[in-house]
């Protein structure tokens, strides 16, 4: 039995290997990540994780795992910032308020069945000053990250409250991932 990670995220790879599930193969899924009209954040993140899982070819002896993480402020989905102005907008929106970090994981087992779970973590940022936003934008860390921040980096200093899965905010909820792999019959230590 072989494991395929349908993601090129180094964070997902690291989190997966931490639970004893080093993938045999890594594949980049080609998926349109644009939200559908009126799509709510929870439905969106689950759909994208499942689509990524299905987008990767799978041999009979392979289990495919994919994940997706999005930040939700109310019904608004904050994806990856397109540029520094977009990053500033996201940080200003997150400043001083709670938001949800939704991290979905999907697995296609040897039986061809898709299994999915979702982690919903509530995160609250302190009120950010313009200087803090400038500092974080200048660091470059928020580019390419859902919601424009990396909790495992400099942005951790902005978090005043977290309830849920820290690894889910990083990009792969390890509790849910482990449970899915076990249900698909993947051997873990």
CA distance 88 to 81: 9
Q: What is the pLDDT of residues 10-24, one digit of tens each?
A: 889 999 999 999 999
CA distance 3 to 96: 40
Sorted by where each starts, the structural domains of the chain and their CATH numbers stand as 2-183 (3.90.950.10)
Active site residues: 68
Q: What is the dihedral of CA 49, 150, 143, 3, to 10 degrees?
A: -40
Given pLDDT bands bounded at 50, 70 and 90, which one contains residue 188?
confident
Given pLDDT bands bounded at 50, 70 and 90, which one contains residue 123?
very high
Query: Which of these, 22, 26, 31, lies nearest to 104 by C-alpha position?
Result: 31
Q: What is the pLDDT of residues 61-81, one digit of tens each?
A: 999 999 999 999 999 999 899
Q: Mean pLDDT throughout 47-62?
A: 96
pLDDT score of 156 more than 90: yes
- Map residue 162 onto helix, strand or coil: strand
């Amino acid at each position: 039995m072989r494991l395929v990670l349908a993601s090129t995220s180094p964070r997902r790879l690291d989190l997966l290997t931490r639970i004893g599930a080093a993938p045999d193969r890594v594949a980049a899924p080609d998926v349109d990540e644009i939200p559908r009209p009126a799509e709510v954040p929870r439905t969106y993140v689950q759909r994208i994780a499942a689509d990524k899982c299905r987008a990767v070819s799978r041999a009979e002896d392979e289990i495919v795992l994919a994940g997706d993480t999005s930040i939700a402020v109310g019904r608004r989905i904050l994806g990856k910032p397109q540029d520094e102005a977009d990053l500033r907008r996201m940080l200003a929106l997150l400043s001083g308020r709670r938001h949800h970090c939704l991290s979905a994981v999907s697995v296609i087992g040897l039986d061809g069945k898709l299994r999915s779970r979702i982690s919903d973590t509530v995160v609250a940022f302190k009120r950010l000053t313009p200087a803090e936003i400038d500092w974080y934008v200048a660091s470059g860390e928020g580019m390419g990250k859902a919601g424009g921040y990396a909790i495992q980096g400099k942005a951790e200093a902005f978090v005043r409250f977290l309830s849920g899965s820290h690894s889910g905010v990083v990009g792969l909820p390890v509790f849910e991932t482990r449970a899915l792999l076990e249900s698909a019959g993947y051997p873990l230590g």
